[in-house]
Amino acid sequence: MAPVKVQKICCIGAGYVGGPTCAVIALNCPDIQVTIVDLNQARIDAWNSKDFKLPIYEPGLEDVVRKARGRNLFFSTDVDKAINEADLIFVSVNTPTKKSGVGAGFAADLNYVELATRRIASVATSSKIVVEKSTVPCRTAESMRTILEANSKPNCHFDILSNPEFLAEGTAINDLLKPDRVLIGSLQTPEGIDACTALADVYANWVPKERILTVGLWSSELSKLAANAMLAQRISSINALSAICEATGANIDEVANAIGFDSRIGPKFLKASVGFGGSCFQKDILNLVYLSESLHLPEVAAYWRQVVDMNEYQKRRFAKTVVDTLFKTITGKRIAVLGFAFKADTGDTRESAAITLIKDFVAEKALVQIYDPKVEHEQIWLDLAEAIPGTPIEAIKKQVTICASPVEAASKAEAVVIATEWKEFKEIKWEDIYATMDKPAFVFDGRLLLDAEKLRKIGFHVTTIGRGAA
């Protein structure tokens, strides 16, 4: 049998991964009909909104959707119809860390993947290529295959591929248009290799052939966890060094620059910070830890766990620095937190370091004034309610305010904390911030974003992560 020529794609899950990925596929493959489906009606309505108020903020995304929507890109809640029509189905649903049961706090919750897979099995009346796109533990493809085979109708054959997504939020469109690589894993059987070729041909519409890597199914699944673990490990390593810098008077930027010149190390992903966040790093490492433990490799598990432990330490260390510097108490003091997203250029707050900081400030009885240019207010309240369980949201709202501008957030505050590296924070008129704050006015730069010397000239006391006291 020759590989199928893919004509219709269905993507189950219209989130941060499924939405942008399949929008870019539609843009680059005008001959393929791409339908992105989701159970969440509000999300689909937003994708279909006339004024392009899309459910996620991602630079360049609106442009892609404007070009392809209604041409060969469609958003729908009719999951069954899209499954049935498609030759190839991406499963791009959420895979959060389990909150209860075996592996709670570590293992991935595969309930959504399983439900989507069962849906495919129950409604499909013809053969399909099913592609696992969500980040999942190794051997998930194998479970999907078992479910599909056990529940399929006669004459329905399913080939399973793993095609992990490596996009980073904030740069997703560029990452998708010019990926470092596309990775496709398949069973090394003739059918598996044909399915792999069918998907590779889709990407070949815009990705150079040498960047499309085809490997075994399990290598592909493990590579995604490994890539994220290695990236996060670099951040934890530089953050560990930032603590040494603060204690010795060395400068973490100078250290990162010096080591990054070594071509074997390279300059990227060496920015010290208040801690990494996002939906992937912590989840994927904990997945790797769980996998290692399940494989009876406790030393390997402990090694990777330390990357997450160091990240927790960094967040707590930063919060403690704020309290210690403000004369060891922040009770009743106003603290402005600039940035709530886990990184700049996204409205996503999953695992954002800002959440941990604010939780600690609230526990210390401070009054927190938050400003973020993109995050929805409702999302901030949801995150804080989850992070501070047992405290009614009305009580949280007595201590936390969401503000419409940096100046409003800084009003009568004793300290400004930079939690996200939004470019606009560099461009603030810091004189105005100074004027509105109580004195002495402190700035804590958790993102190495600001020109500390300039701020000191205005009168601020500045503490920058990875730099000894001036």
The residue ranges that bind ligand ADP (CB under 6 A) are 12-18, 37-40, 43, 79, 92-94, 112, 115-116, 119, 134, 279
Dihedrals phi, psi of 10, to nearest 5 degrees: -120, 135
The verdict on 144 binding ligand UDX (CB under 6 A) reads no
C-alpha pair distances (Å), 461 with each of 38, 247, 324, 326, 411? 49, 18, 13, 10, 17
Which of 200, 225, 231, 336 touches ligand UDX by CB under 6 A? 231
Which of 156, 168, 407, 458 touches ligand UDX by CB under 6 A? 168
Whether residue 333 contacts residue 367, with contact meaning beta carbons closer than 8 Å, is answered with yes
C-alpha pair distances (Å), 248 with each of 274, 327, 464, 466? 19, 22, 14, 10
112 binds, among ligand UDX, ligand ADP, none (CB under 5 to 8 A by kind): ligand ADP
278 binds, among ligand ADP, ligand UDX, none (CB under 5 to 8 A by kind): ligand UDX
C-alpha pair distances (Å), 12 with each of 4, 75, 84, 292, 350? 20, 10, 12, 30, 21
The verdict on 165 binding ligand UDX (CB under 6 A) reads yes
428 binds, among ligand ADP, ligand UDX, none (CB under 5 to 8 A by kind): none
Nearer to ligand ADP, 167 or 410 (CB): 167
Q: Is 273 annotated as a binding residue?
A: yes
CA distance 444 to 436: 17
Quote the least distance from Cβ 167 to ligand UDX, whole Å: 5
Quote the least distance from Cβ 235 to ligand UDX, whole Å: 5
Which of 4, 36, 68, 235 touches ligand UDX by CB under 6 A? 235
Q: Is 275 annotated as a binding residue?
A: yes
Counting Cα atoms < 13 Å in the Cβ hemisphere of 154 gives 0
CA distance 459 to 452: 11
Dihedrals phi, psi of 219, to nearest 5 degrees: -60, -40
C-alpha pair distances (Å), 209 with each of 5, 186, 217, 416? 17, 17, 19, 49
Please identify, among the stretches 46-54, 200-208, 278-286, 309-317, the one whose residues bind ligand UDX according to the rule CB under 6 A.
278-286
Strand stretches in 19-134, DSSP E: 33-37, 73-76, 88-91, 128-132
Would you call 111 helix, strand, or coil by DSSP?
A: helix
The verdict on 137 binding ligand UDX (CB under 6 A) reads no
Nearer to ligand ADP, 18 or 192 (CB): 18
Active site residue 280: yes
Quote the least distance from Cβ 445 to ligand ADP, whole Å: 29
Sign of the CA dihedral running 38, 41, 44, 48? positive
Q: Is 11 annotated as a binding residue?
A: no
How many residues of this chain bind ligand UDX (CB under 6 A)?
19
By annotation, the residues acting in catalysis are 280
Binding residue positions for substrate: 165-169, 224-228, 264, 271-277, 342-343, 447
Residues that bind ligand UDX (CB under 6 A): 165-169, 228, 231, 235, 269-271, 273, 276-278, 280-281, 342-343
